[in-house]
Chain A
Amino acid sequence: MPITLKIQRSLEGKQWTQDYSLELEKGMTVLSALIKIKETLDPTLSFTASCRSGICGACAVRVNGNAVLACETPLGDLVKRYQSETLTIAPLANFVVLRDLIVDWKPKYTNLKKIKPALQPKDEFSAAAGCKQSPADFKKYQKNSECILCGSCVSECSKSTANSNDFLEPFVFAKAQKFVADSRDKDVLAHLDPAVKEGLWKCFNCQQCAAKCPKGLNPAEDIEKLRIMTFKKKMSSNAGSDHAQAFYDDIRDTGRLDETKLGFKTEGVKSALRVPFAYRLMKTGKLAPFEKTEVIPEIEKVRTILSAAKEVK
């Protein structure tokens, strides 16, 4: 079957889309197609790749707007998925493009270093005694060790796309959680504090990172775990943590969310500035500020569950 790959190209500030037609061969991956183009059609096409086995993370690109690891993505599957013999290939989004499909990792490494991506061993460990932990403790961060730094998770990240200046990449949060969860590490705050300062509570919760990781990591869930740790470490609250706490409190108090108080519980007196917006909603009946939230009949049973969950900890 003949297919067309429309590849986004760039060189020295010039950008263009170039069409390449080739025969879809059995077992052909996105990477083998790129290699074929380079070897037989256009030696100037530039991309990065190394292991061809989904280990090195060098070959991630976007196909039809979605990040994939080129070496392990069969082209035939994509033709079927998008019901089209024409596919677009572009460099990962939310990266600076160096040339064609090659992106610049330097700014990403700068961000990665912010969360101190190395074990801060507890004082009880030494070269002689070793640095042991139980299999159960190892399991707590094992999955996070499998990140191959391919960049797929940040490509379609909604927050990074809207504004990446105050937000770390999802894989950076995943890396921070790796060390926060490691029982051998003595300094949780060394990893957690920079994560909080660099946007931990600004995640859109769009789940793009979880959807795109080719190794099955879940940075969105890691962000949740880091947030829980901010409560455990009694770090100072902010609109994000106060908002989350409001849901907990409302479930305990009535079983359901009290929309009328959510703004105040999240922002405090600052919420008074939102009066014009509230008026907009009141005009069509969307907001009823004096309506009392109904308490569910089984509220005592819910409170028992909340207390029991706390005791289990």
Chain B
Amino acid sequence: MTQNMLNVTDLRVDFSTPSGTLRAVDGVTLSLAEGETYAIVGESGSGKSVFSRTLINLLAGNGTRTGTIEIGGRDIDTLSKSESKHFFGVDVAMVFQDPMTSLNPVKRIDAQLTEAMRFHLSISKSEAKERAINLLKQVHIPSPEQRMRQYPHELSGGMRQRVVIAMALACEPRLLIADEPTTALDVTVQKSILDLLDELRIERKMSMILVTHDLGVARGRADRVGVMYAGRLMEVGRTEELFAEMRHPYTQALLQSIPNPAQRSHTRLQPIPGRPPNLLDPPTGCAFAARCRHARPDCLESKPALDDDHGNVDGHRWACFHPVGTPDGDAALRTNLDAGENAAGLSMAEVVGELV
């Protein structure tokens, strides 16, 4: 088996805030094979952004982490200071969400592109410029020589994001982390950017972590998907498998709350009642239990682990005591429906006037 591009083992990230310690990432373990795209899906507060930034060593000052991160076989904790300067941005690179704030508005495009290259690769100015033009061509920006002399605000949102991608690829990373790369863009532009990422990934044999809140994006673009909630992975697996047979109630609830264009108009959506837990004072037991239609008393007592003993295909795992589509899970749902509420006291009726 080829070496994994990324190995994360039991990653925990805490932030010390004036109101106490906030655990943003609570024990995430995952691996990414070479050339694979792994989508991390979650809503705001799920910890997915903190996770992705931790991978590229962009942890805020008040954050601490435990656990190991191995990129391309190297444990990033073992990197010396000089090594890490030329590791992040080179072996692993990141594409951020908002192209307007990830580009320096007062610097021309050529300066921004060549800057990183010259720092990491020690090449001459003219060589960097050549490479930059080539990169712009690879990301399909027309008239690259002209664009080089322009400022970010002179480019459209889609083009700016292409420049950001070009910058990320400048030093030929083997792992690309894309944190909501298309959220700020129009849907047709979104498609072209995601197409571009796919194309480049295959061409350069890169691996990619795609962080998104959009299940549709994950479904359409990833080899494997990990659904995150309250800092933990709730369900992971190969994309087709996961969407065909979802097991975790959260994944199911998420899918049911999104309008599906294949359904008829005015199809009633199923919102997820309640609100995400307070990470400053997390609940004992499963973080989703308070909002889960399958929640039974054991869910309130201990956290289910993302384990592997379901005899399933290709690493499809879920962290749930009463998963969807299993006899146990069905029984739990039945019991709750009969009682009118789940083990945490959440009413099972779809409440219109739900305070969230």
A is bound by B:
no
Q: Point out residues on A near B: beta carbons under 8 Å.
A: none
